[in-house]
Structure 1
Amino acid sequence: MTCHDRVNLGGWVLRLGGVFVAAVLCLLPWTGTASAHGSVVDPASRNYGCWLRWGGDFQNPAMAQEDPMCWQAWQADPNAMWNWNGLYRNGSGGNFPAVVPDGQLCSGGRAESGRYNSLDTVGAWKTTDVTDDFTVKLYDQASHGADYFKVYVSRQGFDPATEALTWGDLQLVAETGGYAPSQNYEIPVSTSGLSGRHVVYTIWQASHMDQTYFLCSDVNFT
């Protein structure tokens, strides 16, 4: 059962209790595989960051001015945030550019019937400050494990606030071996010569099946 389903099931409660209940419903533990996946939590992936900042206040019109990229994402499909841990594709066979075209990297090639399309929207997404050496932290709710992680950073000179992300804009900065099933993984990353706004692009190849996560995080190299 997804968070969307939970919100629908709790609709009568929402009418009585207000939108805060929607956030509570999505924090409750549920059985079933639909909600049990994961994402990069630091530096926060785009939809995880939007959920973290606005999940309890997602209808606040102030978001349009304070966090406009999250605002457009919530307006396009709130389930992209409620299901922040479900941005994956099955059966990619390792040929990622074939299933995730240029300009669609942050949505995993319009995964889940387009649920995450808003994450491809070009603009000034909120950033996390990082230094040359930083750590990507990923939360794996279902303890899938990993065959490997690949972490890319957009090239110097690429401007994610004005340009759509393509494979040619990425440089590989970390590649790992396998990780045993757990709920928390850390991938050390070393870079040099980068400054300003960049996209960190993390590919997580889960080990329980051919299931691949494609995760965009916005950073500012200080």
Structure 2
Amino acid sequence: MAQRSFWCKWMVSCGMMLLVGACTLVFAESASAHGYIESPASRAYLCKQGLNKDCGQIRWEPQSVEGPGSFPQSGPPDGQLAGTSRFPELNVQTADRWHKVNIRGGNNTFQWYLTAPHATKEWKYYITRKGWNPDKPLARADLELFCHYYDGGKRPPNTVTHTCNVPTDRSGYHVILGVWEIADTGNAFYQAMDVNLVNGVSNVQVPSAHHKSSIGNYRVL
């Protein structure tokens, strides 16, 4: 009887360990999604590259700009859309605070690098409206949706590319906000891109060395 009792306790103990291990794996799976936009280079990625200065912790983890999902109905509050509450340095918004990436309107490829892919609901891209004020904190009212891809819970590869038609009815400094909505958590990842948008000009000179970027295929000459 003592031996049987020992084996019963051992089996129960093993079962509990397996259950805890499985739960740990599930939790790690749900918590491990991370990624950033590398082209056109995002604000966070340019912090990693050293082109954006005084960025705080995001310099070492551009993939970690995570916040509440279901944007824009939910998500980070206005004024925290670029860095969420985790990286307040990214939320600073002025006309000359951030390095600009030069792109043209029309079809552009947006490329994410996922350090930890995860089941995905959708990808959304917003751009600041005509006449927005670049010296005020970024708010929902400043943004309009221009591109959307629905994944329906599929797990993406490490590199994800989307072709989006960037508006051609505005020029100059604009912010593009990419949102990666996770399928089975309540969170999303946010990536702000500071772009010098060029439309209606056949031969464009980069405005200054401070704003010039040759990362990716978006240098305008």
- TM-score if structure 2 supplies the norm length? 0.67
Distance 1:197 1:81, change over 3 A: same
- Residue 126 of structure 1: aligned partner: 99
Contact 1:35/1:83, CA 8 A, preserved across alignment: no
Contact 1:135/1:189, CA 8 A, preserved across alignment: yes
- Residue 194 of structure 2: aligned partner: 218
Contact 2:34/2:189, CA 8 A, preserved across alignment: no
- Residue 16 of structure 1: aligned partner: none
Q: Deviations over 1:139-160 (max 9, x none)?
A: 1111214210110010111142
SS of match in other structure, 1:71: coil
Whole-angstrom CA distance in 2 between matches of 1:147 and 1:172: 16
Report the RMSD for the aligned CA atoms in angstroms: 2.2
Distance 1:95 1:204, change over 3 A: closer
- Residue 21 of structure 1: aligned partner: none
- Matched length: 164
Say whether 1:141 aligns with 2:115. yes
Q: Whose helix fraction is larger, Structure 1's or Structure 2's?
A: 1
Distance 1:35 1:189, change over 3 A: same
Gaps of at least 5 residues in structure 2 are 1-27, 199-221
Which one of the candidate residues 160, 185, 192 is aligned to 1:185? 160
Matched to 2:148, the amino acid is E
In the TM superposition, residue 164 of structure 1 has moved relative to its aligned partner by 1.5
Which one of the candidate residues 30, 39, 42 is aligned to 1:42? 39
Gaps of at least 5 residues in structure 1 are 1-31, 55-66
How high is the sequence identity, in percent, across the aligned residues? 25
Distance 1:168 1:36, change over 3 A: closer
Say whether 1:204 aligns with 2:180. yes
Q: Whose strand fraction is larger, Structure 1's or Structure 2's?
A: 2
Between the two structures, name the one with larger relative contact order (CA 8 Å, sep ≥ 6).
2
Say whether 1:82 aligns with 2:72. no
